[in-house]
Amino acid sequence: MKILVINGPNLNMLGIREPGIYGTGTFSDLLRLLEDTAREEGLEVIQYQSNHEGDLVDKIQWAYGTADGIVINPAAYTHTSVAILDALKAVSVPAVEVHISDVDSREPFRQISYAGMACIKTIKGHGLEGYREAIQYLKSYLTSAK
Ligand code: DQA
């Protein structure tokens, strides 16, 4: 089973950016968590991070016929990008949305998620651990779908 984890803009700054909101865990810590989860769950995890909307769209399209599932934190593009929503719908690879912070308890503009409209589940406010939960959720979803 192959899971593509996509991270949007500024997530490469984890640990530095607004630690009161996103925590002190770094992007390297996140990469390590993904590697550990892949080993523990016996699956392949491919991580991709970009600050550019079109690159994120390209990577979602790449998943078609390649990945079994997608975990996506589109970061700020969550709240603006119809292109990412359309790409997720186009490939129809099962996707789980992750947000490190609890977007529901933040500014009103963070309450809308376009990407989430194409996702089977959203995990928010669980910090970096939310990525592990998303991978585990996708694994059981994909296993029971077979
Ligand atoms: C985020 C929440 C977004 O509103 C924000 O723009 C981010 C990170 C999160 O993981 O909590 O960059 O997606």
Q: Which of 78, 79, 81, 102 to mutate to test the pocket of ligand 1 (most atoms within 8 A of CB)?
A: 78
Active site residue 141: no
CATH number at residue 100: 3.40.50.9100
Interval between CA 2 and ligand 1 midpoint (Å)? 25
Q: pLDDT (tens digit, 9 = 90+) per residue, 39-94?
A: 999 999 999 999 999 999 999 999 999 999 999 999 999 999 999 999 999 999 99
Per cent of the chain over pLDDT 90 is 99
Confidence of residue 37 (pLDDT cuts 50, 70, 90): very high
Q: Contact, 37 vs 133, CB < 8 A?
A: no
Which residues line the pocket of ligand 1, CB cutoff 6 A? 10, 73, 75-76, 78, 99-101, 103, 110
Domain count, the chain: 1
Q: Which of 92, 79, 83 is nearest to 120 (CA)?
A: 92
Backbone angles phi, psi at 68, to 5 degrees: -85, -25
For residue 134, what are the domain limits? 2-145
Q: Contact, 113 vs 122, CB < 8 A?
A: yes
